[in-house]
Structure 1
């Protein structure tokens, strides 16, 4: 453990974390930086005092959209805002013709899969993640996959999936919710990318993003356009919108302002630290932990290279002992799931391994 960092790359940006807490549950919900929490408290106080700062709310929406675009290596004109991943996916599902084949990975997260299943008239085909690229065939309309699997942290072979889709004329939809913020990604490599902000982006529930590659706008249903999708939302918010935005803003949902106040601050911090630096930090910790549990006779799922480590087969009562030791984690799909992010350090790895060694 001597080679592992004793502190996260963000310094004291998370000073509000309680002493004794080892937080390894970012895959469920990320922690807000101290400045994010302070900005949110100020916004709530202003709201309660009868002075909701709409200009600052709008500035936060603009800042978050632009920051997300930079983090995902795309232009701000290609980023739409939303509330949840499932509603953004629903816009894509609603635009598909009846009978269209949608290819997904077995056990992928429901918010990505269920909007297609809910149509009832689509050909939804599910295959093992490792075989997803090989399963694309003529007639496949869309390949939808999470960049990183929520249940166990496996990383999809996105280059192979993208190449297979291109070879067969299929479009691609990537859910980056378990990836953006630690795994370097380029949104423009895919036709659509969706992302919830409340995990690795350290944001809040109620804020999500959707990127749309030029030329694929026809793959989203216009039936969901609300007032914020107008070219000038505040000038035209009654009756039918006569002029939608010409950018991906035409797919905007009305923003959850307080959520954007939080997200704008958190995304700024991630930009300052840098996704490449976060990737190296997170994966180094996860790899050390993966090696440690394997050395104790409990091999983790997958081949590594992920910030998420899922360990099946641990003895009964281990989860309770970890919680008693101040470790926050999750149980998913029959395994214990540990997620390492920029507020974690080598001491967190050693603390969990120490509990496991103690039996």
Structure 2
């Protein structure tokens, strides 16, 4: 029987100490092979129809990971495009509540409307800041800059009490943080970070009633029978969240299907336990060095104020982390080990 460790070892062989999944996840070997197969199909002139099956398989896999019916999952390319759909659905003057300094792809579409009231508050106050005239709460499940995890249960309760809807950006948590996605109105996530896929693929969990959101980006793939919807207006939109699909980047979806299969084989709960244990090991080591990270309990992302300037030095030593606004950001995923954590601590100790 394959173990967590043996599955991971078979898929990854990084040449450096890679602690930067919050920027880009590593591609599993099976994903690289899947993309190569798809590219060869195109180069050899073979029919690409099977690649559309990869899109559907990936949709179903993400639905299981997210804990939602597959009928609520749409496939696209970016988080921002789905934020724009939600923003377009709001009436002029509606209030959108966000967390201060949340990721631009989440918040920017609401600012671009120009006629919405976008209010930003500290992340730890967002649930308390929901009020009767709040139409939508838009927040990342985990903050990109420092890994802080939103109190989603409190946000959900506050929003429900005031009749507000909730839009989550799960790009920094999908794949390692279990979330009961079905209890929220909207959720989006890119596939190239913790889900370990290529760039160019994203998921959207739409409303239970797909007709309540206008599919303004709908093309031929949004039809109930896509291959019958290639010419002229789409006369019958998909009866599910497929009406929010964007024409797929087929090579990316071929790869992402394979990546999601690995996530499912390992199990999100097991990945969560692995990732957070490594992050906690790093936090403990930082304390022994006299450094205090941003408080982000339960997160796989650790951000250390004042150490961002050491990122080039660490990269030169073969350790990949990020510099975010002067903070050193390290993110720990399934292919990392306790030895990776210790190596980072050793270099930081000088």
TM (norm. structure 2) is 0.96
In 2, Cα distance between the equivalents of 1:66 and 1:216?
A: 17
In 1, Cα distance between the equivalents of 2:290 and 2:49?
A: 56
1:327 aligns with 2:324: no
Larger RCO (CA within 8 A; separation ≥ 6): 1
* Cα-to-partner distance string for 1:249-268 (whole Å, 9 max, x where unaligned): 11111111111001000000
- Secondary structure at the residue paired with 1:141? strand
In 1, Cα distance between the equivalents of 2:196 and 2:6?
A: 15
Correspondence for 1:337 among 329, 335, 343: 329
- Secondary structure at the residue paired with 1:145? strand
In structure 1, list runs of 5 or more residues that go unmatched: 1-6
Show the counterpart of 2:216: 223
Show the counterpart of 2:266: 273
Root-mean-square deviation (CA), in Å? 1.4
Contact 1:102–1:124 (CA under 8 A) maintained in structure 2: yes
Show the counterpart of 1:17: 14
TM (norm. structure 1) is 0.94
Number of positions where the alignment pairs a residue of Structure 1 with one of Structure 2: 347
Question: Quick check: 323-332 or 115-124, which moved more?
Answer: 323-332
Give how far 1:80 is off.
Answer: 0.6
Moved over 4 A (4+): none
Contact 2:308–2:322 (CA under 8 A) maintained in structure 1: no
- Secondary structure at the residue paired with 1:11? helix
Show the counterpart of 1:4: none
Structure 1 residues 124 and 171 mapped into 2: Cα distance closer, same or farther (>3 Å)?
same
In 1, Cα distance between the equivalents of 2:49 and 2:236?
A: 23
Give how far 1:320 is off.
Answer: 2.8
Give how far 1:10 is off.
Answer: 3.4
In 1, Cα distance between the equivalents of 2:98 and 2:6?
A: 35
Show the counterpart of 1:93: 87
- Secondary structure at the residue paired with 1:135? coil
1:1-359 aligned within 5 A: 8=5, 10-18=7-15, 21-51=16-46, 53-215=47-209, 217-218=211-212, 220-314=213-307, 316=309, 318-358=310-350
Give how far 1:217 is off.
Answer: 4.3
- Secondary structure at the residue paired with 1:223? coil
Contact 2:308–2:328 (CA under 8 A) maintained in structure 1: no
In 2, Cα distance between the equivalents of 1:15 and 1:296?
A: 30
Contact 2:12–2:335 (CA under 8 A) maintained in structure 1: no
Structure 1 residues 215 and 344 mapped into 2: Cα distance closer, same or farther (>3 Å)?
same
- Secondary structure at the residue paired with 1:310? strand
Structure 1 residues 194 and 9 mapped into 2: Cα distance closer, same or farther (>3 Å)?
farther
Structure 1 residues 139 and 315 mapped into 2: Cα distance closer, same or farther (>3 Å)?
closer
Give how far 1:16 is off.
Answer: 4.1
Contact 2:71–2:241 (CA under 8 A) maintained in structure 1: yes
Structure 1 residues 320 and 328 mapped into 2: Cα distance closer, same or farther (>3 Å)?
same
Contact 1:298–1:314 (CA under 8 A) maintained in structure 2: no
* Cα-to-partner distance string for 1:282-312 (whole Å, 9 max, x where unaligned): 0000000011112211100014210000011
* Cα-to-partner distance string for 1:3-33 (whole Å, 9 max, x where unaligned): xxxx957332334422xx0000100000110
In structure 2, list runs of 5 or more residues that go unmatched: none
- Secondary structure at the residue paired with 1:144? strand
